[in-house]
Structure 1
Amino acid sequence: MQKLNDLSRSPSPLDPDGTLIAVIELSLSSWLVAGIVPGVERQPLKKLAVDESALLKLLHRWRDEAAKAGHHIKRIAVAFEAGRDGFWLARWLRAHDIEAHVIHASSVAVSREHRRAKTDRLDTSLLKRSFLGWLRGERDHCKMVAIPTIKDEDAKRPNREHESLVGEPSRIVNRMKAALIRLGIRGFNPKLKKAAGRLEDLRTPEGAPWVGQNPPGMVT
């Protein structure tokens, strides 16, 4: 029996004759949308501007094409990889009665051929196969990410900011140490209170004084 929170396969049975399937390859400047339309032999591929309304019109147009071919579409399922764009598009699609899913990128097995020839067309083909297997209830194709609400995302923001602030001092210290090591200066602790005042006394292994710009993050 499938667990309630099992995101490795679809909880709903797939009716291939009544389901329009689409995947989206997202980029900064455009979206590449690939579809599987019941009753339509060709598998359409359409490049769109970054426009959610244009995407919805495209899905509805494909639905109408399926209807002309004698297939009544009861379900429109759309998926795209988790990434920079976050979850806003999935929430928007769901608000417009489209079943939307976000694929965990690391859960999709990529062959060596795809690594050698990475293109949007190859990516959408791979996503379609993975998403179709997931919809069929088959394991090991891909895993979905739980789509958070805006409230959930806002709740995570303070934690993210705290983690960033905690990590920033370590990043700056490491940059300072690396800048000095490149000159052969070791054993200098930038975290000491009097570290800035000791910069003038630093010497390279050749005996030359520390000159030039300060290491990143160090202010004298």
Structure 2
Amino acid sequence: MQVIADRAEAPNAIRSDPGALFVSLELSRSTWLITSLSPGGGEKMSKHNVPAGDICALLARFSDLQRKAFARTGKSFPIIVIQEAGLDGFWIHRVLQKEGIESHVVDPASVATSRRCRRAKTDRIDGEALVRTLLAYKRGEPRVCAMVKAPTPEEEDRRRLCRERKVLTNERVLHVNRIKGLLFSQGVSGYEPLRRDRRQRLDELRTGDGRPLPPHLKTQISRELDRLELLIEQIKAVETERDALLEPAVKTEGAPAPQAMLLAIKGIGPEFAAVLWSEGLFRHFDNRRQVAAYAGLAPTPWQSGSIDREQGASKAGNPRLRTALIQIAWLWLRHQPQSALARWFQERVRRNGGRLKKMTIVALARKLLVALWKYVSAGVVIEGAVMKAVWR
């Protein structure tokens, strides 16, 4: 039997006089939906559409909302805007802040939703939910949502080098595998497209039954090699820009820059140092829990009554930083075998009978991230870590 709780005489979920204009933006490629709750307008939320990307129409709508609120109450109210982090990035957030409007970007996964199997979802419903979330956030309710800290344009542009290199590297792998697959269908194996003599070796190849490569197949592979060589040159150019970005930090006199401190650790090269710094360690964190949560390496417990188990890493943070840390953790065991973290890993694996190495490496990655954060932020040297003599 369904039980309906008694309702209060006056609804108090939404304040009748919020003291500001609370606005949410539902962004799409064609239109932007503006949902607003105005002082003196009761509990009803108004909704308006403007063309996507039309900042002038958006600001004009905000001015119209302020004018109507002033006509109802005789007072001027500030505007507080919320939007979800997504494909539009942070340029709208920066425009609003430049206009003197308080703007917030929320992690959409942190906004509470219905747990029904088939829940209703429309832009109008999502817009109202964002306004209610913003109201609760401004009231000071704890953990009502997770607001995103927008990076500066310089910080956002700086991390593009590592991301571009990753995209180019993945594309290079695709071309290499395609060339090997084409040759394997003719009984040819052992050809390495990344070798410098790839063109010469292609002319010398014979099929499994002793024939020269068919002319159209050879032409196709040649075009694949053209694209592959272009990718190789682009990767070199990106790496040159990356090293040029790290070089001023290495040559800084006095207190070493964080990038130079990371490069001084044995086992961390220019690429990993750039990823660690540009993707995470440039930010300010209050404690180690925030550091682990940002990388998605925080534990996820499941406790209810007699049930108490661990679900593993949350994977709710920066995926690029998390992937790099897992790779660094494996390299740490090779290059820093006498460090306290490596000894902890070996002891943990020994107690498990040599099993669960993949699970333990995730725990090592979390510990290593916290140790690196303490190292670059407070200068706390990692126990037992070996430093490089000179980095060139």
Question: What letter matches 1:66 in structure 2?
Answer: A
| Rounded Cα–Cα distance in structure 2 between residues aligned with 1:197 and 1:109 | 62
Where does 1:153-168 land on structure 2 (aligned, <5 Å)? Answer: 153-168=156-171
Aligned to 1:99: 102
- Counting aligned pairs with the same residue, the percent is 35
2:85 to 69, 75, 82: 82
Identify if the C-alpha distance between structure 1 residues 155 and 117 changes in structure 2 by more than 3 Å, giving closer, same or farther.
same
Structure 1 counterpart SS, 2:29? coil
Structure 2 counterpart SS, 1:84? coil
Note the C-alpha offset of 1:139: 2.6
Note the C-alpha offset of 1:134: 1.5
Aligned to 1:48: 50
| Rounded Cα–Cα distance in structure 2 between residues aligned with 1:127 and 1:174 | 46
Identify if the C-alpha distance between structure 1 residues 127 and 196 changes in structure 2 by more than 3 Å, giving closer, same or farther.
farther
Instruction: Name which one, 1 or 2, has greater alpha-carbon Rg.
Output: 2
Aligned to 1:23: 24
| Rounded Cα–Cα distance in structure 2 between residues aligned with 1:133 and 1:180 | 61
Contact in 2 for aligned 1:93/1:99 (Cα 8 Å): yes
Residue range with higher mean Cα deviation, 123-132 or 97-106: 123-132
More strand by share: 1
1:134 to 132, 137, 155: 137
Note the C-alpha offset of 1:176: 6.3
| Rounded Cα–Cα distance in structure 2 between residues aligned with 1:26 and 1:125 | 14
Contact in 1 for aligned 2:85/2:106 (Cα 8 Å): yes
The aligned length equals: 201
More helix by share: 2
TM-score of the two chains, using structure 2 as the length reference: 0.43
Query: Quick one: higher RCO (CA 8 Å, sep 6+), 1 or 2?
Result: 1
Contact in 2 for aligned 1:176/1:190 (Cα 8 Å): no
Q: Deviations over 1:46-86 (max 9, x none)?
A: 01112111111111211122212216344210011111111
Question: What letter matches 1:61 in structure 2?
Answer: D
Structure 2 counterpart SS, 1:165? helix
| Rounded Cα–Cα distance in structure 2 between residues aligned with 1:109 and 1:176 | 48
Structure 2 counterpart SS, 1:101? strand
Identify if the C-alpha distance between structure 1 residues 128 and 177 changes in structure 2 by more than 3 Å, giving closer, same or farther.
farther
| Rounded Cα–Cα distance in structure 2 between residues aligned with 1:218 and 1:120 | 45
Contact in 1 for aligned 2:40/2:73 (Cα 8 Å): yes
**Unaligned residue ranges in structure 2 (runs of 5+):** 1-14, 227-392
| Rounded Cα–Cα distance in structure 2 between residues aligned with 1:198 and 1:84 | 48
Structure 1 counterpart SS, 2:87? coil
Contact in 2 for aligned 1:39/1:71 (Cα 8 Å): no
Structure 1 counterpart SS, 2:160? helix
Residue range with higher mean Cα deviation, 141-150 or 67-76: 67-76
Where does 1:68-79 land on structure 2 (aligned, <5 Å)? Answer: 68-70=71-73, 72-79=75-82
| Rounded Cα–Cα distance in structure 2 between residues aligned with 1:18 and 1:46 | 21
Does residue 32 (structure 1) correspond to residue 38 (structure 2)? The answer is no
Contact in 1 for aligned 2:45/2:128 (Cα 8 Å): no
Contact in 2 for aligned 1:23/1:33 (Cα 8 Å): yes
TM-score of the two chains, using structure 1 as the length reference: 0.72
RMSD (Å) for aligned C-alpha atoms: 3.6
**Unaligned residue ranges in structure 1 (runs of 5+):** 1-13, 204-208
